Amino acid sequence: MKALIIDDERLARTELKRLLTPFKDLQIVGEAVNAEDALEKINELKPDLIFLDIQMPGKTGFELLEELDSVPVVVFTTAYDEYALKAFEYNALDYLLKPIEPKRLEETVNKLIEKTRKKVAVETDKEILTESDQVFVKDGDRCWFVKLEKIRLLESEGNYVRLFFEDNKPLILRTLNYLDERLDTKVFFRANRKHIINLKWVDSIEPWLNGGLLVKLKDGHKVEVSRRQAVKFKDMLSL
């Protein structure tokens, strides 16, 4: 499992590497000293896990995550405990306070191994869902059987995803990454970190900020396609 350490303090990076030495399942593939450096290395090295400091020169760790279309497993490492609640809004696996205790780090790695084991088991069983498939959706006391072709937009809300179909907007206990892996990519496109759109609901497209695109759906929703995803989007639609 590939891991990237992101911290502006050299001593903190060195100490974390030392503490991680006993865990043979983890391979430290690189280090980054700030958010900009981290963004390049995440795109290049494609780590499964990042150990992420929050307060760094320039952008914070949270701001870095906002720029990622697909977020690796995140373990925050910080000297401040006041960010813990916000950290888990980003689906963090864990939140480690500096100086990091070896026992707490061991618990985190064990949690990661268990999470990976469960993910492999699920992926072995799961099949890709096509637009013609019908799924059961439950939100509180309300239930629907809905064809995937009717779902025009999926929006991440932490560990939940809001589905938009007809006049309904139920919230389901799934992550956007999980659904992204299960949905047919010829129909459902990951526009950015928070949204998946149904390509058959696209009404118009226009250039947007920083080389991205702004997509308008037939229901009026507007969704930004990040710069990196815009390249894939243009290829798919032959723009």
Residue intervals of the chain classified under CATH 2.40.50.1020 are 134-237
If one compares 239 and 203, the residue with the highest pLDDT of the two is 203
Residue 159 is predicted with a pLDDT of: 86
In 3D space, the residue among 61, 62, 54, 51 whose CA is nearest the CA of residue 104 turns out to be 51
The model's pLDDT over 40-82, given as tens digits with 9 standing for 90+, comes to: 999 999 999 999 999 999 999 999 998 887 889 999 999 999 9
Residue 124, pLDDT above cutoff 60: no
Residue intervals of the chain classified under CATH 3.40.50.2300 are 2-125
In 3D space, the residue among 106, 60, 103 whose CA is nearest the CA of residue 80 turns out to be 60
Average pLDDT (213-235) is 93
CA–CA separation, 99 vs 2, rounded Å?
A: 23
CA–CA separation, 25 vs 153, rounded Å?
A: 37
pLDDT-derived band at 125, boundaries 50, 70, 90: low
Average pLDDT, the chain: 91
Kindly report the CATH class assigned to 2-125.
Answer: alpha beta
pTM for this predicted structure: 0.61
pLDDT-derived band at 219, boundaries 50, 70, 90: very high
Residue 117 is predicted with a pLDDT of: 74
- Asked: is 134-237 a CATH 1.10.3090.10 domain? The reply is no
